[in-house]
Structure 1
Amino acid sequence: MEKKPILQVQTVQNTMLLPLWGRAVASEKNPEILYDKQAIDIIKNYDYNFKNVAKTFGEFGGICYVIRARKIEDAIREFIRKYPRGTVVNIGAGLDTSFSRVDNGSILWYNLDLPDSIAFRRSFIPDSERNISIAKSLFDTTWFDDVKFTFEDGIFFVSGGVFYFFKEQQLREILRIMARRFPGGELYFDAESRTAVKKSNNMIKKTGNKGATMYFYVNDAKKFQSWSSAIKLVSCEGYFKNIPFNKQWSLRLRLMMRMSDWTHMMKFVHLRFLK
């Protein structure tokens, strides 16, 4: 078997294995939400001990990862219904496999991530003509020139589990620049409250990774509109809203989901860059 690249343990990049594990494990049990065959195949063929991850995140964590993929993909499908030849940029793509499920045969898709992350990704998921990787940091704005799009066909940015690792000042600045460069574009991503981010930091450390501190949180999504007059909040909704419940889920699991939405601990934020 071909030897795969190794991710350094004490890094943010290493966290890409967490959603991969979650989608593989939870999608087998919850195919009505999302079924990720690529993730399942990668887990089977990658020599990594996920026992500590499974013990730390458990069933709820796995379901959260598969729901995150489903919600982001639903948002992408809504976008490409309006813009069938649009461009999608997946920020911090890691080992995301969404393109294989949402591709309509005409969209142009970019996976943006750090060079070592893209090298790791390509060892499992090769690029194709319309599914292209960009090995650069989000903050290296030269990637703007690597993305092909037209204002008429639209551009949609998505990011799953990434913005947490940035400080607010960093994110504020890059979103201001993106809003100016991509007027009419949209951005969809997940976020947590300050309390939830503290809990997530503790869980990541329990996996043995002490080099991936989470900073960014969202208690009130309206704050994004104060960052720039070109940024508009389209929506902010509960993490588990409109997700079909599996009858086999325990009462405890369902209560955790309802409590999360009720207390606004986890959410999805949709922004638009005004023209």
Structure 2
Amino acid sequence: MERKVKLTVWGEISVNKIVLTEEKETLLIPLLGKARENEKQNPILIDKKSSEIVKQIDYDFESLKIPEKTNILMCIRAKLMDNYVTSFLSDNENSIALHLGCGLDSRYIRIKNNNVNWFDLDYKEVIGIRQHFFNETDKYHMIASSVTEPEWIKIIPQEKGHYIIIAEGLFMYLKENEIKELISRLKDRIGNYTLIFDAYSKLTAKNANNHPSLKKTGARINWGIDDPAELANWGLGIQLIDEVYFTDYEGNNTLNTSTKIMFKIANMLSIAKKAHRLLIYKIDGK
């Protein structure tokens, strides 16, 4: 049976009740993680917007039972992605960025780049919540659609600029054929682009469905990958650029002693460091 959860979103002059189901509810996990981290004296990620949003949503966040380790890894994931996207936009003026499965993330605000043409995409219900907290401009846009639907892609402009596609906490919920189709549709629409996403290993993907937070929402993990070079065999002009491990995170002054020790041990074990990491690809649109 599909799980449904009702949220009450408190705005300045209105109150709105919104229903989320299964994987849509998982957007609350990284939102809370970033809000908790933001309250720390020396946070991995500074994200005032997440704290603002959490305070305006009536939901039993504690029922998600998010372990501190998960919070830390989610914030490191976001920070490493922010760093890469910031560098990409700095090197490529007048770029187009597409954030797939954006949830209630505020990356566009954190990066603070006035030249990028930015598109945030998520389900209609999720965008309905975002519209309470984010305003569209001539540079910032929201698209209400499932990522697997084909029609939304026509909204993305076909320009000669540099494209970066961001998928944070998304691909593991999709099936492999859905990821292939998405990469192919983007290639047909915009040509060359850079793709950055986080991925589980196959073992982590298998075990992740036992995570207490996921069990609470009813969402399911469907995809993991061990060898990132495998994507080159999909015949879509995919080239691996980098594999970034969370355990290599260099912001040691923001980590407690037990986390530093955990990362050192994980770095000595390939199965541990590859359990969850960032993958970066170039897609040749020719």
TM-score normalised by length of structure 1: 0.90
Q: Which has the higher strand share?
A: 2
2:72 paired residue among 42, 46, 63: 63
Among 216, 232, 244, the alignment partner of 2:251 is 244
Cα distance between partner residues in 1 of 2:236 and 2:158: 23
Question: Which residue identity does 2:162 align to in structure 1?
Answer: G
CA-to-aligned-CA distance 1:81-139 (integer Å, 9 cap, x gap): 12121010000011010111112211110011111111122122232321110111222
Q: Structure 2: where are the runs of 5+ without partners?
A: 1-9
CA RMSD of superposed structures (Å): 2.0
**Partner SS for 2:70:** helix
Aligned CA distance change for structure 1 residues 260 and 181 (closer, same or farther; 3 Å): farther
- TM-score, scaled relative to structure 2: 0.87
Q: Mapping of 1:1-275 within 5 angstroms?
A: 1=10, 2-8=14-20, 10-29=21-40, 31-53=42-64, 56-151=65-160, 153-204=161-212, 208-210=216-218, 212-246=219-253, 249-251=256-258, 253-261=259-267, 262=269, 263=271, 264-274=274-284, 275=286
Structure 1 residues 154 and 244: CA distance shift in structure 2, 3 A: same
Q: Secondary structure at the match of 2:58?
A: coil
Q: Secondary structure at the match of 1:176?
A: helix
Q: 25-34 or 219-228, which moves further after superposition?
A: 25-34
1:183-204 deviation line (CA, Å, top 9, x unaligned): 2211101011122223321115
Counterpart Cα distance in 1 of 2:19 and 2:265: 35
**Structure 1 residues 260, 92: CA separation in 2 closer, same or farther (over 3 Å shift)?**
farther
- Output the amino acid matched with 2:18: I
What residue identity is the alignment partner of 1:165? Y
Amino acid of the structure 2 residue aligned with 1:4: N
1:176–1:228 CA contact under 8 A, matched in 2 = no
Counterpart AA for 2:263: M
Structure 1 unaligned blocks of 5 or more: none
In 1, Cα distance between equivalents of 2:238 and 2:91: 20
SS at match of 2:22: coil
Q: Secondary structure at the match of 2:18?
A: coil
Q: Give, in whole Å, the separation in 1 of the partners of 2:214 and 2:115.
A: 42
% identical aligned pairs: 23
For 1:135 and 1:206, the matched residues in 2 are separated by: 24
Tell me the secondary structure at the aligned position of residue 208 of structure 1: helix
Give, as a single letter, the amino acid of the residue that structure 2 aligns with 1:191.
Answer: A
